Amino acid sequence: MSSKKDNWVAGINAVASALEHDLEHVREVLLEAGSKNPRITEIEETARRRDVSVRRVPAQSLEGIAGGLRHQGAVARYEAAKATDEKELPALVEAAAGKALVLVLDGVQDPHNLGACLRSAAAAGVTAVVIPKDKAAPVNATVRKTSAGAADRIPVVSVTNLARTMRALQEMGVWLYGLDGEAKATIHATDFTGNVALVMGGEGEGMRRLTRDTCDGLVRIPMPGEMESLNVSVATGVALFEVVRQRGDVK
């Protein structure tokens, strides 16, 4: 993380999640002095129990550190885990034993949308999430907070050339389906039971031309209402859980 904002995780849920799921990357926890919030006390006790440095500081100090993020009385200095290497994708797909589910996000730029997509991906048990390094939101503190810990639980692969990675997935036996509102086929009429990658476009313009052309097929979410499209994070959730439904993976 390069900026001051990105060096800190802000918010009670984000800090608690970091302590629970990615302890080795938490360097220090700062909590609001005088706060009686029981969740703040719980975070303090958890951090001390796990030998993480904890300090109580004035709320004004937290405001400065959080850099505009809503801190709720808790921030953590955080060294994020490295993104999953692209070279690990074949092993991840192979380990899925014919039921790989990859989420490809082509240029999602709003960190809140990316965080929400990762949260849905974790809930759906995805094999990996693939994002481009350029013209897309990085996995920063805002993404981690919005994802409610999902960013630390699932493999997120940041790639230089998205189309090349998509072709590599095809060579691994993964079928790529792009979500497009103009597609003739619907998600409900498409077989998602094998190795599948769902490809979602970014806000506004959707998938780039090369991304669309690389897909094996295009599908749409049927919408009988008057809205022309869904927010990318909502569409991602709907599509992912159609795959879950078809596979009978509901516990």
What is the residue type of 143? V
Q: How many CB atoms lie within 10 A of CB 216?
A: 14
Task: Classify 201 as helix, strand or coil.
Answer: strand
CA–CA dist 38, 45 (Å, integer): 10
Distances (CA, A) of 97 to 153, 171, 172, 194, 216: 20, 15, 12, 9, 21
Give the residue numbers of the binding site for S-adenosyl-L-methionine. Answer: 201, 221, 230
User: How many Cα atoms are found within 13 Å in the side-chain-facing hemisphere of 189?
Assistant: 10
Give the residue numbers of the binding site. Answer: 201, 221, 230
CA–CA dist 217, 143 (Å, integer): 29
R_g (Cα) of the chain, nearest Å: 20
Buried b (16+ CB within 10 A) or exposed e, 236-251: bbebbbbbbeebeeee
Beta bridge partners of 175: 196
